[in-house]
Amino acid sequence: MSKRIQVALLRDLPEENWSSIAIYSDQLIRNLRAQAPEIDFVEVQVPLWKFPAARIPMPYGRAASLRTLGLYLTRWVRYPLALRRVRADVYHILDNSYGHLAFFLDRRRTVITYHGGGSGLPEQLVRWNPRGPALWLYRCAFRGMLRCAGIIAVSAFAQDELVTRARYPAERIRIARHGIAPNFRAPTNAERSAWRARWLSPDNRTLLLYVGNNDARKNVDALYRALHRLRQNDCSAQLLVVGATPTSAQARLIEEFGVAPFVAHLPRVANAELHFYYGAADAFVFPSLYEGFGIPLIEAMACGAPVVCSDSDLFREICGDAARYADARDPETFATEIARVGAEPQLARELRTRGLARARAFTWENCARQTLETYRWVADQNSSR
């Protein structure tokens, strides 16, 4: 790739409010520009078609917001139309949920990032989401992704999904794992004490933290059940949930178990402050049953929080020996591992030390470097034609 090339970076609509994708896009683009000044990077986004806030009944039994309709029409109609004016040597669709855009691009010059998890295999999504037109549209986006010349997978687990379940050629997949923003660091003792005092009541000793939404696959119910077990066994634990508010079913579960006084929910926390929450926790708990990567895991390790998570191939790939693993479908088992971390200071110190070391391997610089290798591979393939 000797000539100066242009790379078009196709971003999600900001109105999607998908924070993990926004973080990925912002950090990746910043580091791409820093590492490859010889490449012309062009960010592509289209304005939202706006509709009133009214809701209309749908044939599948639910009501749909007209604002949501505007989002879908922008994503599926306006965005493809806008691509007619975009010319580049390489097109990079930054989120596979937008894989339908590949139908409107030169497939030989198009790469896409496969994040898995909430935008993973269609057959997995059926397990966690109600059926409806959104699932049909997502299947279309998934087929579009498989048209691309190359796929950037965020983990070896995600790569294996594409090869074994989607039959995508392994030689056309590159792995570029997520990184950690510089502000995610272990707090000072004074900072940790101040934030623990802010969220941990005087009668309790153990602060548990969860960061993420409450989609069904996240298995947040397991945390309320585990907290109930811990309180029954005289473990004075509190749970702080960041990024989600309880559903009506979860609120009933919390009341049923009598743990409402020991649970706090913060729907939104600024990224600039999030590391204080991780650093204050005695354990970061992550019972998710299906992910493509799990950014909160590496953020927690970088901030010195001992990790207790579901026992899965992906989480073992990410955390190695820096976490305690348990069957998150069994609240008793999950609670036992949490209690062990809280009761054994030596184990907690070892997990913190291993986590801090493990986290250093995940940088946005590495992610950008591996992504650039994919661009050069695609550009070289097309220049030889």
Assess if residue 87 is contained within a domain. Answer: yes
Band of pLDDT at residue 58, cut at 50, 70 and 90: low
Q: Which residue's entry shows tokens 């101040």?
A: 194
Average pLDDT over residues 259-283: 94
Domain that holds residue 32: 6-179+363-383
User: Which tokens hold the place of 10?
Assistant: 């196709």
Residues 111 and 65 in one domain: yes
Could you give the CA distance from residue 31 to residue 33 in angstroms, rounded to a whole number? 5
Q: Nearest to residue 110, comparing CAs of 156, 153, 146, 160? A: 146
Q: pLDDT, tens digit, for every residue of 59-86?
A: 555 666 778 888 889 999 999 999 999 9
Residues 354 and 367 in one domain: no
Residues 32 and 122 in one domain: yes
Residues 126 and 210 in one domain: no
Band of pLDDT at residue 353, cut at 50, 70 and 90: very high
| Residue 47: other Cβ atoms inside 10 A | 10
Q: Name the domain count of the chain.
A: 2
Q: pLDDT, tens digit, for every residue of 124-182?
A: 666 666 666 677 888 899 999 999 999 999 999 999 999 999 999 999 999 999 999 98
CB contact at 8 A, 97 and 139: no
Q: Nearest to residue 112, comparing CAs of 4, 5, 8? A: 8
Q: Determine the pLDDT at residue 215.
A: 87
Residues 277 and 370 in one domain: no
Residues 81 and 25 in one domain: yes
Residues 163 and 214 in one domain: no
Band of pLDDT at residue 205, cut at 50, 70 and 90: confident
Residues 162 and 199 in one domain: no
Average pLDDT over residues 364-384: 92
Assess if residue 69 is contained within a domain. Answer: yes
Residues 143 and 14 in one domain: yes
Looking up residue 310, the CATH number of its domain turns out to be 3.40.50.2000
- What DSSP designation does 91 have? E
Assess if residue 1 is contained within a domain. Answer: no
Residues 80 and 156 in one domain: yes
